[in-house]
Amino acid sequence: MSNFSTDHGSPYDRGRADSYYHRPKNPHKGGVSIASGPREESLTHEERFFYNMGYEWNEQFGDKKSWD
């Protein structure tokens, strides 16, 4: 397995963000800003793994957005 990126828009970053904002799992990358490129949902097996890793990390150790 290659090293993975935690950069804004990476699959890992998007997984953590989806968890943070209480969104259901929906593996993707990009779609955050011009710099991250368009949203892409057609991911490789490895990219899906990193998305899920980011989502699960935030579920276990991260925080959640509060709209209070």
pLDDT at 2: 66
pLDDT at 1: 61
Torsion sign across C-alpha atoms 37, 43, 45, 48: positive
Closest CA to 14 of 42, 46, 50, 68: 50
Two tokens at 48?
């899906």
Per-residue pLDDT of the chain (68 residues; tens, 9 = 90+): 667 899 999 999 999 999 999 999 999 999 988 888 899 999 999 999 999 999 999 999 999 999 88
